[in-house]
Chain A
Amino acid sequence: QKEVEQDPGPLSVPEGAIVSLNCTYSNSAFQYFMWYRQYSRKGPELLMYTYSSGNKEDGRFTAQVDKSSKYISLFIRDSQPSDSATYLCASRLGSARQLTFGSGTQLTVLP
């Protein structure tokens, strides 16, 4: 079992929809949680990060971590075609030197 599991999709939604992307993790010691966005033929880029539990909002994006259920979520409001990409969740221990990535969810927002 991978330490970070992510539904690969693909997920297709109409423009303007609310998108929910989710990951689960098995290591209860993970403290840092990140979402990376990867456009086709590009490297991943950091979209959002959170430390420990709670919510973090940045414009149309909200990252949520529920440590009790080991659940990581990314919500996209008013989705746009430019949001079409693969979204990867990632986690790491406080003292760890490396990230553990989920397998990524491919999202398409249809105009």
Chain B
Amino acid sequence: DADVTQTPRNRITKTGKRIMLECSQTKGHDRMYWYRQDPGLGLRLIYYSFDVKDINKGEISDGYSVSRQAQAKFSLSLESAIPNQTALYFCATSDPGLAGGVSYNEQFFGPGTRLTVL
């Protein structure tokens, strides 16, 4: 079974609709992230959470909200979807592990959700 799962994998919706993307992880990590990926722009951070009570805005949080329901679950909502939110969305988790004394904070990504807003 995958360590980081995202549902749905694909979604087509209309402008103005409310959409929720869900992420679950079995890695036991406290840190979770939501990114969007667009051609030519790479991965951009939307929100991140370092524990259930810690929610932080990323680079592009406008138009999005999140909910950290439990250590293992982190949901992303688009309150009123618009066409320029059409993108590939990734959830990721990390653990501030140490390797050789260095905290590299490797991030583990889910398979992505392809969202199309018409």
Enumerate chain A interface residues (CB-CB to B < 8 A).
6, 8, 32, 34, 41-46, 49, 51, 88, 92, 97-99, 101-104
A-B contact count (CB 8 A): 51
> When the two chains form their complex, are residues B42 and A43 in contact, meaning their CB atoms are under 8 A apart?
no
Assuming A6-B42, A98-B48, A98-B58, what are 11 further A-B pairs, CB within 8 angstroms? A32-B102, A32-B105, A34-B106, A41-B112, A42-B111, A43-B112, A49-B104, A51-B104, A97-B50, A98-B33, A99-B105
Given contacts A32-B104, A88-B43, A101-B42, contact A45 B48 (CB under 8 A): no
Q: Which one of B43, B56, B112 lies within 8 Å of A97 (CB-CB)?
A: B56
A42 touches B112 (CB 8 A): yes
> Which B residues lie at the A interface, using CB under 8 A?
4, 33, 40-45, 48, 50, 56, 58, 90, 92, 102, 104-112
- CB neighbours (8 Å) of A43 from chain B are 4, 90, 92, 109-112
Subset of 28 A-B contacts with CB under 8 Å:
A6-B42, A32-B102, A32-B104, A32-B105, A34-B104, A42-B111, A42-B112, A43-B90, A43-B92, A43-B109, A43-B110, A43-B111, A44-B109, A45-B108, A46-B106, A46-B108, A49-B106, A51-B104, A88-B42, A92-B105, A98-B45, A98-B48, A99-B105, A99-B107, A101-B43, A102-B42, A103-B40, A103-B42
